[in-house]
Amino acid sequence: MRTIKIFDTTLRDGEQSPGASMNVGEKLQVAKQLARLGADIIEAGFAIASPGDFEAIKTIGGEVEGPVICSLARAKEDDIRRAWEALKDAPKRRIHTFHSTSDIHLKYQFRVSREEALKRSVEMVRLAKSFVEDVEFSPMDATRTEVSYLCEVVEAVIAAGALTVNVPDTVGYGIPSEFGALIRTIREKVKNIDRAVIAVHCHNDLGLATANSLSAVLNGAGQIECTINGIGERAGNCSMEEVVMALRTRRDIFDADTGIRTEEIMRASRLVTKITGMYVQPNKAIVGANAFAHESGIHQDGLLKEKSTYEIIRPETIGLHKTKFVLGKHSGRHAFRTRLNELGYSLSDEEINHAFERFKRLADQKKEIYDEDLEALVAEEYTTVPETYHLVDLFVSAGMNQRPTAVLKLKVNGEMIEKTEHGDGPVDAVFGAIVSITGTKSRLLKYEVKAITGGTDALGEVAVSLEEDAKSVSGHGSDTDIIIASAKAYINALNKLAARKK
């Protein structure tokens, strides 16, 4: 049986989803979870794109053990040198360089000939190779590239030292039979193909990213590039959980598997959701809230008799356990830390102390604390940013015949400021007060509320996306009171914008 490598690009292509940008601390947490999950390669960022990306790659390379850490670089000298600078301390490192090869891109976007594109690609693979042994090359927009030229480029970059050649379906244009045939053609026509691994990188514009990646595996691909929850540019990338579980569940067809520890899938999915604020649709395969919910009486009857009647994957396989009451008001610090460790979180003493204080406050409001509640608390620890704005107090009044009013007190750079505002509803009034105190010029792109567990005493989780100067950030907050959670989420996003400016 073949082992297919999993190249996770949640932190690079995934981060290109509008509003999904993550700070260095958040990226580090995701990278640690990807390592627990057993990803073979983590594309930690695009070093030249921003100082934040550079820092994230460097930090992840220094702190995350196990996977190969990779930086993306255009086929340009400065990009490759910058990628090397970010990666040089990582024990296992890869430079992933790319150049478009389709006539559409070459003619309209880059205005270079095929010969020039080929020459640059080869030269830049050689340059990358002078820094690292492990070099990957992607002919961007491969699925719209003339096939004989594509094969020529692939052969030339392998001769220059690329150990992985990635075939990106950049615009999600391919369909499974055609994409599989393309991979087979590359295997048959490229003379030195046995010296490299064929990777695939499929976008989901036609909803076919997973199907295309699987078709590629059937035709010889040895690496799949994917993201947690399928986030990514436009309609996203191939979803890691789907492709991994398809290979695992249908080993009989694929005769291939991955090294992914599937019991970590659910935790990875929740972490990425919390950090990016991008919720998963309920009917999403594998990690959607309804993926294991059986509604029909006939199905429930079958399941009670024998699980395999309607269940092709056991929920435990992806780390989904029955939600259970875990802790309460009387639980101590030791039980709290132990449960977090069991859930796979390792917090410093300072983080534990802080999270424990918040846990106690929550336990006063909410009798039963579930794993999901703990995960929400931890997510807030992980996403702390320097607090330019700190929520001190909030009073809200609203009702059927009342004008919604918010009285908000914030500490701004140490100075206490209080404002009263009215709005269409309580959240609008609170946001109005925040705008009036902070003077923010940012635009609210998204506001979403979700209950973490059942019951009216559930923790409410709010995700907010803000845009300023064409850059977006997400913020989140949780509280048993959704108005306070909303204020926390907005303030968290504003703190991220402030941190970014600094």
- Both structure tokens of 192: 């030195």
Contacted by 11, from ligand KIV, Zn ion, none: CB < 5 to 8 Å by type = none
Report if residue 32 touches ligand KIV, rule: CB under 6 A. Answer: no
> Of 170, 262, 440, 486, which one interacts with ligand KIV (CB under 6 A)?
170
Report if residue 438 touches ligand KIV, rule: CB under 6 A. Answer: no
- Residues 75-134 binding ligand KIV (CB under 6 A) are 98
Q: Which of 29, 31, 66 is nearest to 45 (CA)?
A: 31
Beta carbon of residue 166, minimum distance to ligand KIV (angstroms, whole number): 6
* Cβ-based nearer residue to ligand KIV, 72 or 327: 72
Measured distance CA(373)–CA(380) in Å, rounded: 11
Phi-psi region of 347 (alpha: psi -120 to 50; beta: other; left: phi over 0): beta
Q: How many residues does the chain have?
A: 502
- Residues 12-31 binding Zn ion (CB under 5 A) are 13
**Number of Cβ atoms within 10 Å of the Cβ of 421:** 19
* Cβ-based nearer residue to Zn ion, 96 or 496: 96
Residue 370 is given by DSSP the state E
Measured distance CA(271)–CA(498) in Å, rounded: 23
Beta carbon of residue 82, minimum distance to Zn ion (angstroms, whole number): 19
* Cβ-based nearer residue to Zn ion, 102 or 486: 102
- Both structure tokens of 343: 């859930």
Report if residue 239 touches ligand KIV, rule: CB under 6 A. Answer: no
- The pattern of x and - marking residues 398 through 437 that bind ligand KIV according to CB under 6 A reads ----------------------------------------
* Cβ-based nearer residue to Zn ion, 232 or 404: 232
> Of 6, 73, 140, 374, which one interacts with ligand KIV (CB under 6 A)?
140
Contacted by 138, from Zn ion, ligand KIV, none: CB < 5 to 8 Å by type = ligand KIV
* Cβ-based nearer residue to Zn ion, 166 or 405: 166
Residue closest to Zn ion when measured from CB atoms? 13
Beta carbon of residue 168, minimum distance to ligand KIV (angstroms, whole number): 3
Stretch that binds Zn ion, among 6-14, 115-123, 134-142, 377-385 (CB under 5 A): 6-14
Look at residue 502 and give its three-state secondary structure: coil
The alpha carbon of residue 97 and the mean position of all alpha carbons in its chain are separated, in whole angstroms, by: 21
Beta carbon of residue 13, minimum distance to ligand KIV (angstroms, whole number): 5
Alpha-helical regions (H) of 343-405: 349-365, 371-382
* Cβ-based nearer residue to ligand KIV, 72 or 484: 72
Residue 421 is given by DSSP the state E
> Of 21, 101, 138, 258, which one interacts with ligand KIV (CB under 6 A)?
138
- Both structure tokens of 354: 């802080």
Residue pointed to by tokens 């930090």: 59
Report if residue 8 touches ligand KIV, rule: CB under 6 A. Answer: no
* Cβ-based nearer residue to ligand KIV, 49 or 434: 49
Look at residue 343 and give its three-state secondary structure: coil
Q: Hey, which residues does 7 pair with through a beta bridge?
A: 41, 225
Return the biggest CA–CA distance within the chain.
Answer: 77
Beta carbon of residue 22, minimum distance to ligand KIV (angstroms, whole number): 17
Binding footprint of Zn ion, residue count (CB under 5 A): 1
Q: Which of 97, 69, 99, 71 is nearest to 83 (CA)?
A: 71
Q: Which of 474, 443, 444, 442 is nearest to 461 (CA)?
A: 474
Q: Which of 120, 103, 97, 114 is nearest to 152 (CA)?
A: 114
DSSP string, 101-167: -SHHIIIIII---HHHHHHHHHHHHHHHHHH-S-EEEEEETGGGS-HHHHHHHHHHHHHTT-SEEEE
Beta carbon of residue 423, minimum distance to ligand KIV (angstroms, whole number): 41
Amino acid at 373: D
* Cβ-based nearer residue to ligand KIV, 219 or 227: 227
* Cβ-based nearer residue to Zn ion, 13 or 380: 13
Report if residue 212 touches ligand KIV, rule: CB under 6 A. Answer: no
Beta carbon of residue 132, minimum distance to Zn ion (angstroms, whole number): 21
Report if residue 465 touches ligand KIV, rule: CB under 6 A. Answer: no
Beta carbon of residue 218, minimum distance to ligand KIV (angstroms, whole number): 21
* Cβ-based nearer residue to Zn ion, 229 or 478: 229
- Both structure tokens of 366: 């909410």
Name the pairing type of β-strands 402-412 and 325-327: unpaired
Q: Which residues contribute to the site for ligand KIV (CB under 6 A)?
A: 13, 72, 98, 138, 140, 166, 168, 170, 201, 203
Q: Which residues contribute to the site for Zn ion (CB under 5 A)?
A: 13
